[in-house]
Structure 1
Amino acid sequence: MFRTLSNIFKVMDLRKRIIFTLLVLIVYRIGAFIPVPNINADAIRQFDQSATSNVFGLLNTFSGGALFQFSIFAMGIMPYITASIIVQLLSMDVIPRFAQWAKEGDVGKKKLTQITRYGTIVLGLIQAIGFSIGFNNVYAGLVINPSVATYALIVIVLTAGTSFLMWLGEQITENGIGNGISIIIFAGIVAAIPGGIGKIATQLFVDAGDALFMNIIKAVLILVVAIAIVVFVIFVQQGIRKIPVQYAKRVVGRKMYGGQSTHIPMKVNAAGVIPVIFASSLMTFPSIIASFWTGRSWLADWIQHNLNISTGAPLAMVLYVLLIVGFTFFYTFVQMNPEQMADQMKKNGGYIPGVRPGKATTVYLTRIMTRITLTGAFFLALISILPMIFGKAAGLPTSVSIGGTSILILVGVALEMMKTIESQLIKRHYKGFINK
């Protein structure tokens, strides 16, 4: 293990990428503590103490505590994720131009990325307006000298913070290790872990009273369940179904090509943590809007009571599971299109033994992908809701009971980063984490 870590810093390119990623994350963490102008610090502390029991606890976790600080990164990267969802949905033959760009490879991908950036700014402006006005209405005195100019400045700063985070994520993707957006969310969750552990420890030990012995047993059970969930997540994340592929021999000039056997690796959870992030974003949006009118509108009260996943409401849990399953199928089939895979194999003289090339191969791949993806979707849904149920049964604070989403993101991003480093080490003839 230690030899592997030393090997990482022997590769100059890999060392530069890791250092660059760490420096960007330091900038991100510094920005999480820079408050927005014209904000009352006392109201922020009151907000921090009173808002941890609602849906904002989840957003605060994703932003690394920036929301409860009402810093320049208070909105986090969520507007970008929402814009990505919208653009990908519109690329599924909803807008013909978007669908055409999605099939044009890197050129089309750059155009869709640009549209996503513009969408992020628009959604960021809308969300910043809602945050600044809504929070000031709920927590009186949050905004100092509220006026049109003051709100405009706050909205511009919050939107600029989200845009800057989006740029930082793209820089990590290009010059660092792994997917930048996922790493930023990963860093925010890691930063929130000590606070969550502190709240659990306070509830179980400091405020335990006569139930100290039972709470010690409860703490041990929580630790065992957490470790079991992490092991289960790693086990499923690493699961692969190998589809054998045979390439026919062909002669080009004086050289013979093909005649080799390979396989298509189909992961049980090919979509990774993206469906969970998408589902969380969509489920938290109604609760965020409703929280500003809680107690003043029956619709807002109904949404907070029935659609707030942070409270473990049954209807919210069912919708959350359905969204995760739906997004898992959607994202998997967008990333791995069976028809395109079959066409590529046919053009290169490849075929699956026992399956005719063309349409039969497409049907075969679609059937296998559907079965594997269904297993992966149920796995994601189970891991997402199981800690909620366990946390509610154990009487843990609501703000830290939503652990499934966080665990999936932490483990998924960590595995992706490890594989990226692994490939760089093996390419340069160094031993990695897996290949011992």
Structure 2
Amino acid sequence: MWQKFRAIFTIPELRQKIIFTAILLGVFRIGYHIPLPVVNQAQLAANMDSQSNELAKFFTNVAVFSAADLKQVTIFGLGIMPYISASIILQLLGSVWKPLEDLRKEGETGRKKINEYTRYLTVAMCVVQSMMFLGTMLSSGDGQASTIHPDFLSGNSLHWSWYITCILTMTCGTMFVMWIGEQIDEFGIGNGISLLIMAGILAQMPVALIDFTTNMKWSLTAFSEVGIEHIVVLAILFVAVVFGVVFITLGQRQIPTQSAKHVRGRRQFGGGRQYLPLRLNQSGVMPIIFASSLLMLPAFIFGLIASSFAGSESDSGQTTAKFFYELQGMFASGTSFTYIVCYVILIYFFSYFWTAITFNPKEMADNLKDFGTFIPGYRPGRRTAEHLEKVMVRITYVGAAFLSLVAIVPTFVSSALNVAPNVASFYGGTGLLIAVSVAFDLIQKIDSHLVMRDYRGLLEP
């Protein structure tokens, strides 16, 4: 293995790509810790940890896949989330809006035009999200701007000039992060945006490890405290979860295909047998992202309704407020039976929804037909498309079950083993899926450079 790693740095082109990528990731992490001058970071972190602010919890949940720490308002405070949102919106529109769908079929020219539209939409979303972010995070529960230094206050609110400055700063910070990702794509190694997200996830590991070791007792005690037995159980569980994530992430359903034979001169071409690989987890982490984000809204809405009835002096008003507070508690805790059932249902729904958007069996069947390839036992065209759709429905069911299991593992780890949520989050959920997927993508790109120069790949025995 050491010889393989040494071979990586003996290739000048690959070595330059890796160093360039590492430098840009370092620049990203430096900007990640530069705060906006108007914000009292300690007070903001305390407000974010408050369990009563459901919208703040929503932003904290989004921070997992936005490469940002939303407990701090920094110049990169929005992370890469606006760009991801803009990309998702245009991808969805490309499936239902004819002009954008035609643009996607134009090849490299269409892709460049869509990227240009994505940048414009990213700027607009940066402005909107930074306004929402500042309006929520820079105020406490009573509406007072307690997280702003007094020197920047005009009355009880942030002065308009500093408000605009913060919005422009965060917008420029996100656009700079997007530029870093594009530079990694062009001159570095790996997918730039994905590497930035993974860097944000892995950067939370030291903090989680410190919190875990601080509360740990080095003795064989009962499971009421974090002791030595927890380390053994958590280590075994971590290996098992990572093994399952790797197995399903790389899992494929291979459909046999046959190429038609054709003769040119005295030579015969085609007639070979290949396989069409269909991923078990075709939708990736998007179902978990959509489901977890959507499930934060009921708690926030129920809390607003309950607070509106809480001031009523009638018995019916107090009863109604109590009822909605109970509903809020079920969705805010994240551990109730109702929350878990809704979570699993939404993951299944979004798994099929996202697969239907990204996987087009009719288009794939037409491509196979155009290249003279067919699936044995199925006529080219409509029958092939129906077969591909039937197979995809079945394997999506398995992939959704896997996503549901991975999504709820951190909840059971946190509650059953009395482990902090920031530690349990590394045993499943969006962060683990992203880290594993990006790591494999990076290794495959490095392997392509090694194999091209007659070296053995990192994954080869």
* TM category, shorter: 0.7 to 0.9
Over 3 Å counting, the alpha-carbon distance change for 1:18 and 1:210 in structure 2 is same
- Tell me if 1:348 matches 2:348: no
Give matches, 1:210-229, under 5 Å.
Answer: 215-229=227-241
Separation in 2, partners of 1:18, 1:291: 49
Task: In structure 2, give the amino acid aligned to 1:108.
Answer: G
Residue of structure 2 equivalent to 1:429: 454
SS of alignment partner, residue 199 of structure 1:
helix
Separation in 1, partners of 2:359, 2:397: 15
Separation in 2, partners of 1:321, 1:171: 38
Separation in 1, partners of 2:29, 2:370: 49
Separation in 1, partners of 2:137, 2:436: 33
Residue of structure 2 equivalent to 1:373: 396
Residue of structure 2 equivalent to 1:142: 147
Displacement of 1:29 in angstroms is 0.3
Task: In structure 1, give the amino acid aligned to 2:384.
Answer: T
- Tell me if 1:192 matches 2:209: no
- Tell me if 1:58 matches 2:61: yes
- Tell me if 1:178 matches 2:180: no
- Tell me if 1:420 matches 2:445: yes
Separation in 1, partners of 2:106, 2:255: 27
Pick aligned residue for 1:401 from 424, 438, 461: 424
Task: In structure 1, give the amino acid aligned to 2:284.
Answer: G
Pick aligned residue for 1:155 from 167, 187, 190: 167
Over 3 Å counting, the alpha-carbon distance change for 1:385 and 1:66 in structure 2 is same
Task: In structure 2, give the amino acid aligned to 1:116.
Answer: T
In 2, are the aligned partners of 1:81 and 1:278 still within 8 Å (CA)? Answer: no
Over 3 Å counting, the alpha-carbon distance change for 1:205 and 1:314 in structure 2 is same
In 1, are the aligned partners of 2:245 and 2:436 still within 8 Å (CA)? Answer: yes
Residue by residue over 1:315-373, the C-alpha shift from the partner in whole angstroms, topping out at 9 and shown as x without a partner, is 44444434433333344444442212211221121111222212111111111122112
Over 3 Å counting, the alpha-carbon distance change for 1:255 and 1:303 in structure 2 is farther
SS of alignment partner, residue 246 of structure 1:
strand
**Worse-superposed segment, 188-197 or 355-364:** 355-364
- Tell me if 1:72 matches 2:100: no
Separation in 1, partners of 2:90, 2:197: 20
Displacement of 1:64 in angstroms is 5.6
Displacement of 1:271 in angstroms is 3.1
TM-score in terms of structure 1 length:
0.87
Displacement of 1:255 in angstroms is 4.8
Separation in 1, partners of 2:70, 2:10: 39
Over 3 Å counting, the alpha-carbon distance change for 1:248 and 1:237 in structure 2 is same
SS of alignment partner, residue 244 of structure 1:
strand
Pick aligned residue for 1:411 from 436, 443, 449: 436
In 1, are the aligned partners of 2:300 and 2:328 still within 8 Å (CA)? Answer: no
Query: Superposition RMSD on alpha carbons, in Å?
Result: 3.2
Displacement of 1:65 in angstroms is 6.0
Over 3 Å counting, the alpha-carbon distance change for 1:33 and 1:154 in structure 2 is same
Residue of structure 1 equivalent to 2:180: 168
Over 3 Å counting, the alpha-carbon distance change for 1:332 and 1:430 in structure 2 is farther
SS of alignment partner, residue 139 of structure 2:
helix
Task: In structure 2, give the amino acid aligned to 1:184.
Answer: L
Task: Give me the identity figure in percent.
Answer: 37
Residue by residue over 1:184-203, the C-alpha shift from the partner in whole angstroms, topping out at 9 and shown as x without a partner, is 11000100011112222223
**Worse-superposed segment, 362-371 or 65-74:** 65-74
In 2, are the aligned partners of 1:34 and 1:72 still within 8 Å (CA)? Answer: yes
Task: List alignment gaps of at least 5 residues for structure 1.
Answer: none
Over 3 Å counting, the alpha-carbon distance change for 1:126 and 1:418 in structure 2 is same
In 1, are the aligned partners of 2:39 and 2:147 still within 8 Å (CA)? Answer: yes
Task: List alignment gaps of at least 5 residues for structure 2.
Answer: 310-320
Displacement of 1:416 in angstroms is 1.4
SS of alignment partner, residue 349 of structure 2:
helix
Separation in 1, partners of 2:364, 2:276: 10
In 2, are the aligned partners of 1:121 and 1:163 still within 8 Å (CA)? Answer: yes
Residue by residue over 1:127-184, the C-alpha shift from the partner in whole angstroms, topping out at 9 and shown as x without a partner, is 2112212222217432232111111111111122122222222222232222222111
